[in-house]
Amino acid sequence: MAIKFQYNKTSLGDLGKQLKMRQKALPTIKSKESALRSEVKKAKDSAADYRRRLDALKAEYDYMAALWGEFDDGLVRIADVELATQKIAGVRTPVLQDVKFEEKPYDLFSAPVWFADGVEILKKLARLALEFEVYDRKMELLDYARRKTTQKVNLYEKVQIPGYEDAIRKIKRFMEDEENLSKSAQKIVKTKQQQAGEGATL
């Protein structure tokens, strides 16, 4: 990214302000990136943990696979999922508050004995699956914010700050050269005037 500037004091002042602003913001952005990196790892670990628990719970009830065929899947359904939001390092992320289930009454005498357990198993599976989804989404949101923040850190560190420093150096050199030329020109004029004055007195 080429930084546009002019060889004058106004431009030098503007560039100085831009540079200071970025140098001041950089530590904050870096700490945000670090916090996001840590939160992404936590969310990833939590999602993986819920995935393991879900798989373990499914495996635990695999032996009932034959029985599930006779289970009335209309007995239980998710009626509502309550989500809240939580800000983590400035990023709004979802939090699962509650899962409300709707159970259809069934005849305890004619239905198989294990139906009550089946309903509880389905509730557990549904809740774990939702927890996994929420943490997976949280991880995606945080990771996206972390990538954006990393890009900003790199932009400031590797492009803009060195660019502004370079531009400021060029302006200062130009102004010093201009000042030196002006002084040299003044000396030459003064020397010529002195010589002309000496020549007039002779």
Of 49, 35, 46, 51, whose CA–CA distance to 135 is shortest? 46
What does the pLDDT average to over 118-143? 90
CA within 13 Å, CB half, 102: 6
Classify residue 48: in a domain, yes or no.
yes
The enclosing domain of 120 has a CATH number of: 1.10.287.3240
- Asked if 137 contacts 106 with a C-beta cutoff of 8 angstroms, the reply is no
Structural domain includes residue 202: no
pLDDT tens string 4-63: 888 888 989 999 999 999 999 999 999 999 999 999 999 999 999 999 998 888 887 776
> Is residue 199 assigned to a domain?
no
The number of folded domains in the chain is: 1
| Confidence at residue 142, expressed as pLDDT on a 0 to 100 scale | 95
> Residue 202 above 60 pLDDT?
no
**CA-to-CA distance for 18 and 1, rounded, in angstroms?**
14
**CA-to-CA distance for 146 and 166, rounded, in angstroms?**
29
Residue 201 forms part of a structural domain: no
Query: In this predicted structure, what is the pLDDT of residue 89?
Result: 86
Look at residue 197 and tell me if it is in a domain.
no
What is the structure's pLDDT at 24?
95
Question: pLDDT digit string (tens) for 65-85?
Answer: 666 666 667 778 889 999 999
Q: Does residue 1 sit within a domain?
A: no
Residue 194 covered by a domain = no
- Three-state DSSP string of 75-95: CEEEEEEEEEEEEECCEEEEE
Decide if 200 is inside a domain: no
Can you give the pTM of this predicted structure? 0.74
- Closest among 126, 121, 3, 123 to 62, alpha carbons compared: 121
Per-residue pLDDT of 192-201, as tens digits, reads 888 877 766 6
CA 63 to chain centre: 44
Domain range enclosing 73: 9-189
Alpha-carbon Rg for the chain in angstroms: 36
